[in-house]
Amino acid sequence: MSKRDYYEVLGVSKDAAVRDIKKAYKRLAMKLHPDRNAGDKGKEEQFKEVKEAYEILNDDQKRAAYDQYGHAAFEQGGHGGGGGGGFGQDFGDIFGDIFGGGRGGRQQRQQRGSDLRYNLDLTLEEAVKGKTLEIKVPTYVGCEPCDGSGAKKGTSAKTCVTCHGHGQVQMRQGLFAVQQTCPTCSGKGKVIASPCPSCRGQGRVEKTKTLSVKIPPGVDTGDRIRLSGEGEAGEHGAPAGDLYVQANVRDHKIFVRDENHLYCEVPISFTTAALGGEIEVPTLEGKVKLKIPKETQTGKMFRLRGKGVKSVRSHSTGDLMCKVVLETPVSLSGDQADLLRQLEQKMGSSNTKHSPKETGFFDGVKKFFEDLKT
C-alpha cells in the first residue's frame, strides 16, 4: 500500500517552517492519540501515520532526503518512522519541553553551597599599603564524622526506590505525563536510612572559621576579594560556595581619597602667605617640605606628584593635592593688635596695590548699584 505524502499527512506546505510542522503535529496528536480514542483502530493507525510524518519532517537531514527521493529514501536500512516505543513515550517526546522534560526525568544536581559576603573595615593606611588580616566567619562546613555524606559512619545513602535515582517521578494526568520532584527523596535521588548524628543527615555543621585574607595595596571602598570555596558548604557533600570580602575604607582625620588622589587642607599663617616660606605637609609616607611662594592666596592648591595612592588595577600612582588655607590670628594681645592697625594704616593709601581682589570686588559692587538706579 502506497504511503501518503508526509506534508499532506500533517496538512502543511512543502516550505513550512519547523515550528509550523511541530504545531501541526501537536494539534493532530492531541486529536488522534489512543488515550482519547480508546478502541478506535482507525484513529490509532492515523496517529501512527502522523507520528511517522513528523519524525521525518522534523529532522533536517531526513527531510532533505525525503524531499529528494520521497519514501524511497527510507525503505532501506530502517530509517523511516513507524517503529519505536509505545504511545505514551512518543507523545511525551513532543510535549516534554512543556511538561518537564524527557523520558524518565533527570536526577537533580547537587546544589552548591551559598556564597557569603564579609564586610571588612580598613584604615586608609591599610587600604593603601596592603595588609594580611585574620577574619572570623560563621558558616557551614562539611561534617567530619560522615565526611559530608550525611550518612552515619559505616553506612551510605541508598538509591531512592521511588524514582530509582532520577530525583523525579512521572505522573499521568489524563492525556499528559507530568514530571514532579520525587516526594520520597526530595529530588536528591538517594535516601539516607541512618543519618549522621553530628549533622542530622545534612552533611554539614555550623562553625566559625578563622581565615587569613591578603589585602592588596590600593583597594578602595566597594572592592571585593574572592576566596574560592570558603563560603557555605553544600548539603550532602556538595561543593562549597565562595566568600566575598568587601572592603570599606574608614574616613581619615587628615586625608580625603578620590580614586588614586589624596586631598588635604594645610593651614598657613598670614606672614607665610604674604612673604612666602617653607612648610611641612603630611603624606602617608611621612612629612615633606612644601615651598610657599610669596603673596599666596587662601585656597590655592599645590600638587605633590606621586604622593597619592597606587592603583590596585593599573598600578599607576596618584597625587597628593594640598589646599592651603589662610589662618586668621586669634587671641591677639594689645600690642599685637596695635601693630596690625599700624600695618593697615600704612597700606591704606595704596590699598589697590596691596589688595587687588578686595578693590576689584567693591568696585564691582559699586557699579552694580549704580546700574540699578539707571
Q: Over the chain (374 residues), what is each successive 10-residue block's mean pLDDT?
A: 81 88 88 81 88 88 82 57 42 41 45 88 90 91 88 86 82 67 83 88 89 90 90 86 91 89 90 87 88 88 90 84 87 83 72 58 61 66
pLDDT of residue 84: 41
Q: Note whether 48 and 129 are same-domain residues.
A: no
Contact between residue 234 and residue 188 where contact means Cβ atoms under 8 Å apart: no
Write the CB contacts of 246 (distance below 8 Å, at least 6 apart in sequence): 117, 118, 119, 120, 222, 223, 224
pLDDT of residue 175: 57
pLDDT of residue 350: 54
pLDDT of residue 363: 62
At residue 268, what are phi and psi to the nearest 5 degrees? Answer: -130, 155
pLDDT of residue 75: 64
Q: Note whether 232 and 275 are same-domain residues.
A: no
Q: Note whether 366 and 312 are same-domain residues.
A: no
Q: Note whether 157 and 239 are same-domain residues.
A: yes
Q: Note whether 261 and 242 are same-domain residues.
A: no
Q: Note whether 162 and 235 are same-domain residues.
A: yes
In a domain, 194, yes or no: yes
Q: Note whether 291 and 351 are same-domain residues.
A: no
pLDDT of residue 359: 56
Domain of residue 346, residue span = 334-373
In a domain, 106, yes or no: no
Q: How far apart are the first and last CA of the chain?
A: 111
Q: Note whether 187 and 82 are same-domain residues.
A: no
Contact between residue 328 and residue 336 where contact means Cβ atoms under 8 Å apart: no
In a domain, 1, yes or no: no
pLDDT of residue 322: 93
Count of domains in the chain?
4
